[in-house]
Amino acid sequence: MLQNEEINGCISEFVIHVKQGRYSGSLLLASKTVELLKKIMTLQDWKTAKELIDLITTSGKVLMTSLPFQSTVGNIVRRVLKIVREEYVAALKNEQEELDPQESLHKIVTSEGSLDDNYTEDVPSLKPSIFEHIGEFEMELETSADNIAQQACEHIHPNEIVMTIGMSSAVEAFMLNASMKRKFEVIVAECAPFFHGHNLARSLATCKIKTTVIADSAIFAMMSRVNKVIIGTHTVMANGGLRAVCGSHIVALAAKHYSVPVIVLAPMHKLSPQYLCSSDQDFNCYVSPEKVLSHSDGSIVSKVHVYNPVFDYVPPELVTLFISNTGGHAPSYVYRLLSELYHPNDYEL
């Protein structure tokens, strides 16, 4: 843990709130993580970018260790680190241009590598520029959901049948936006044993969208009637694969069989530089199997092991298109997005 007790207290309080479910939804979690990092940067006395990077990295390690399944927290930490690195390099270049404008272009070309590796120089304008850039990032987070929803009419056409699974606030907003100009039908897989799909179906039906709830076992049977699949996701992995709600893999496989396009709604803060290397890593989490096999069935429960996973892994070859707040992207383009969002040195904190 960090030496500053006040910072440790803020991190502990944040972790407790996340585990208690007070920050429901990835967007709220991302915003709260940015607020926490800003508070840490304010509480700790730092002079150089190197000290700040070490501070954020140390805090990020504590957060990611405490919340291994909340990839959004790690993504935000990496994004803030990228902002610090960018602002340091930009501020240093501006100072060099002021000192020697004739050689500024030569120094930009020849010194960029060394600037990236050396963060120890004291730059007076660094702190305000970092906080200004983080403020812009917060605005991007606030508008990301609306930016995704505004693209709905480009992908949902009149009289189409769309399938989804479970409850996703991004999917809900996307379809509600499309319903203002389009008439279409939605098939919602209930996502047993959690049955979150019922909540989405209720919300869509309230807004006069023709909605049908089906059991997960009927996904393959209904897929032949579907024009496209639109789902949300918890995380987009570095290879373009998904960590999505359990049942998403079944939907994607059925869509592949019937050549139905699979569209995934994923704001940029869900893009992670991590790969799924093995089933032993912190990829999936398991909850009580009570909803799968009731504890009242005592004679059976004592003889079996029941697993109730929360997530599915969906490989990138089953995904047709990602829709983010910056537009549509193919799974093969994820590597390029990673290089724009995160610094290579921060992939592994």
**What are the domain boundaries of the chain?**
5-144, 150-346
Dihedral over Cα of 247, 253, 258, 262: its sign: positive
Q: What is the mean pLDDT of each run of 10 residues along the chain (349 residues)?
A: 77 93 90 95 89 93 91 95 92 68 51 58 85 94 94 95 95 95 95 92 94 96 96 94 94 97 96 76 76 72 82 94 94 92 90
Spatial distance between the Cα atoms of 280 and 60, rounded to a whole number of angstroms: 22
CATH code assigned to 150-346: 3.40.50.10470
Asked if 155 and 184 touch (Cβ cutoff 8 Å), the reply is: no
345 φ, ψ (degrees, to nearest 5): -70, -15
Q: Does domain 5-144 have CATH number 1.20.120.420?
A: yes
Spatial distance between the Cα atoms of 327 and 97, rounded to a whole number of angstroms: 35
Asked if 240 and 305 touch (Cβ cutoff 8 Å), the reply is: no
pLDDT score recorded for residue 108: 47
Give Cα 85 distance to the centre of its chain: 22
Give Cα 71 distance to the centre of its chain: 7
283 φ, ψ (degrees, to nearest 5): -105, -50
What's the pTM? 0.88
